[in-house]
Amino acid sequence: MPKLEAYDRSLSYSYAPGIFPATECLKACPERCLRLLVSSAAEHSEGVRSLARASEAAGVRVEVADRALARIAHKDNCFAAMVFEKRESELSAQGAHVVLHHPSDSGNLGTILRTCLGFGLRDVAIIRPAVDLFDPRVVRASMGALFSLRVRHYDDFDDYRAVFSRHALYPFMLTGAVPVEEAAEKAVRPFSLIFGNEASGLPDAFAQMGTSVLIPHSEEIDSLNLAIAVGIGAYAFTRRR
């Protein structure tokens, strides 16, 4: 591995900044962990020492790297970060999927991943163009949930659909035909919950696919925040299992 660089989308590795996300990375994907970076200021932090011991036990090299940590975390204090190898996963053919169409906000994406894991939705498809899944800000906002999920990118929705032709489609739209509660009650499994871009939502064509879903809200707001919509959809579609 060459000298560590400031994070860039084109790199084959990224950083899980913070003790909690770095620990999740080591627990869920030890084979992808390349190196643990620790701050010299964190020598006496029990959290960092424990993570360093676990890393060494897993054969992951530990090094003091104050400058690299400052580069990764910008203004935030960051006592440790795991350098990890980027990888795509295979989605489960039987499992429920969450499909994110052109997500563009890194904080939202991280929150969505954490929420999916919280509701046992372990398979996430991302339709490009999309914010960089491996951006350290996404990893951090996900609290490391990223490492416990299967996430795969597709160049367009048809590519995804060609692979998973039997999933029942539930596109979430402002013009959705069926309220989320009713759609969830009658849900056919396995299902794909599909959510559009933060600003523009899903293209109109999705209204013709499967059962379009509405989360009713007052007319005083244009739309719910994307992560909130995913949270409510994930909650409603999984709460009876």
Interface ranges with a copy of itself (CB under 8 A): 107, 111, 114-115, 117-120, 143, 145, 148, 181, 215-218, 220-222, 224-225, 227-228, 231-232, 235, 239
Closer to a copy of itself by Cβ: residue 7 or 147: 147
Dihedral of alpha carbons 173, 177, 180, 186, sign:
negative
Least spacing, CB of residue 184 vs a copy of itself, in Å = 11
Closer to a copy of itself by Cβ: residue 4 or 121: 121
Least spacing, CB of residue 123 vs a copy of itself, in Å = 14
Least spacing, CB of residue 232 vs a copy of itself, in Å = 5
User: Tokens 């491996």, residue?
Assistant: 134
Contact call for residues 12 and 134 (beta carbons, < 8 A): no
Beta bridge partners of 193: 98, 170
Closer to a copy of itself by Cβ: residue 46 or 158: 46
Closer to a copy of itself by Cβ: residue 168 or 228: 228
Beta bridge partners of 197: 201
Least spacing, CB of residue 138 vs a copy of itself, in Å = 13
Least spacing, CB of residue 148 vs a copy of itself, in Å = 6
Closer to a copy of itself by Cβ: residue 118 or 129: 118
User: Tokens 């990223």, residue?
Assistant: 146
- Cα–Cα dist 3/37, whole Å: 13
- Cα–Cα dist 55/180, whole Å: 43
Least spacing, CB of residue 9 vs a copy of itself, in Å = 19
Closer to a copy of itself by Cβ: residue 104 or 148: 148
Q: Residue type at 216?
A: P
Torsion angle, CA of 74/79/85/91, rounded to 10 degrees? -90
Cα 130–chain centre separation: 12
